[in-house]
């Protein structure tokens, strides 16, 4: 019975391919790759002799499954994704499940994973976190998903494409409030960038410099202090301070709703009464 090796490959810097990963890729008789062209380039760059490659991606999962199970019956197989850790927002989960059912040993090899790299560099709590990958493309579904996790205290990790990043952050601001966050892009690459600030500040920054590249977002969990409702005096003081700084009523209500325990509508109506 062969083993299924889950081999993490570089997401940018080729030096991140571990010696163990390089040895396994050299030794296995078959490599299942999300993109055979990119994997062949990696093997060539690392001096790994020509291997038998077979494609395994989102569009041929089912038809490849039995082929790979047959191969595992004869020997070991390595699974690699386009870049990073297979089965983590990349193809692999279905094959892992099928291989387990068939009695094969699963051997994960540690290596690059953008969500973990962004988390540990974000400056946000790392003791408890929730990885959510890509949010739904439709706004109604996206906001529903965000609302479902709004009160969770865990640090949140997302992935997002550049052309959807701004509208996704707008929904984060609307549903979760103006939390601390980190934006990471081009991790391990020449133009690696990790920006830290708030959701509203990130939106202002992206309006000036349109996003490029794939992004990993790390967002603060529901603040512990928001578990108890502020008193009216505390809320009024925060409203006065926010307006003195020039915050608009809608932005101020949204921000305070994320930390005060008051609903955004309640805060907005209270502010309107104060200013009439």
* Residue 143 buriedness (CB in 10 A; 0-12 / 13-18 / 19+): middle
pLDDT digits (tens, 9 = 90+) for 22-57: 999 999 999 999 999 999 999 999 999 878 999 999
Domain hosting residue 164, numbered range: 115-222
Distances in whole angstroms, Cα of residue 112 to Cα of each of 40, 116, 247: 18, 8, 41
Confidence of residue 222 (pLDDT cuts 50, 70, 90): confident
pTM for the model: 0.79
User: Within this chain, do residues 204 and 164 fall inside the same structural domain, yes or no?
Assistant: yes
Rounded to whole angstroms, the Cα distance separating 163 from 169 reads 12
Can you read off the two tokens belonging to residue 225? 């202090």
Can you read off the two tokens belonging to residue 95? 């094959």
User: Within this chain, do residues 8 and 103 fall inside the same structural domain, yes or no?
Assistant: yes
User: Within this chain, do residues 233 and 166 fall inside the same structural domain, yes or no?
Assistant: no
User: Within this chain, do residues 182 and 244 fall inside the same structural domain, yes or no?
Assistant: no
Q: Return the pLDDT at 224.
A: 63
User: Within this chain, do residues 126 and 194 fall inside the same structural domain, yes or no?
Assistant: yes
pLDDT digits (tens, 9 = 90+) for 208-219: 988 988 899 999
User: Within this chain, do residues 104 and 152 fall inside the same structural domain, yes or no?
Assistant: no
Number of structural domains, the chain? 3
Rounded to whole angstroms, the Cα distance separating 122 from 57 reads 31
Rounded to whole angstroms, the Cα distance separating 268 from 275 reads 11
Q: Return the pLDDT at 151.
A: 84
Report how far Cα 185 is from the mean position of its chain's Cα atoms.
11
**What CATH number does residue 19 fall under?**
3.40.1010.10
């Amino acid at each position: 019975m062969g083993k299924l090796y889950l081999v993490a490959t570089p997401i940018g810097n080729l030096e991140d391919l571990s010696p163990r990963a390089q040895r396994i890729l050299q030794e296995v008789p078959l490599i299942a790759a999300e993109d055979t062209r990119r994997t062949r380039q990696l093997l060539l760059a690392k001096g790994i002799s020509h291997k038998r490659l077979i494609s395994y991606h989102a569009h041929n999962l089912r038809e490849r499954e039995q082929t790979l199970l047959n191969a595992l019956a004869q020997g070991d197989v390595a699974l690699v994704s386009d870049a990073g850790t297979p089965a983590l927002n990349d193809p692999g989960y279905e094959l892992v499940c099928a291989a387990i059912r068939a009695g094969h040993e699963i051997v994960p090899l540690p290596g690059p994973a953008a969500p973990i790299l962004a988390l540990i560099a974000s400056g946000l709590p790392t003791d408890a976190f929730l990885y959510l990958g890509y949010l739904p493309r439709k706004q109604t579904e996206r906001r529903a998903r965000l609302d479902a996790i709004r009160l969770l205290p865990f640090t949140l990790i997302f992935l997002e494409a550049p052309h959807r990043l701004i509208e996704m952050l707008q929904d984060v601001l609307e549903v979760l409030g103006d939390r601390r966050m980190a934006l990471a892009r081009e991790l391990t690459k020449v133009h690696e960038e990790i920006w830290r600030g708030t959701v509203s500040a990130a939106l202002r920054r992206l309006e000036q410099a349109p996003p490029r590249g794939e992004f990993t977002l790390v967002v603060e969990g529901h603040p512990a202090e928001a578990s108890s409702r502020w008193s009216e005096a505390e809320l009024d003081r925060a409203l006065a301070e926010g307006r003195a700084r020039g915050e608009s009523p809608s932005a101020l209500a949204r921000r305070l709703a994320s930390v005060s325990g008051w609903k955004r509508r309640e805060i907005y109506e209270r502010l309107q009464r104060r200013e009439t």
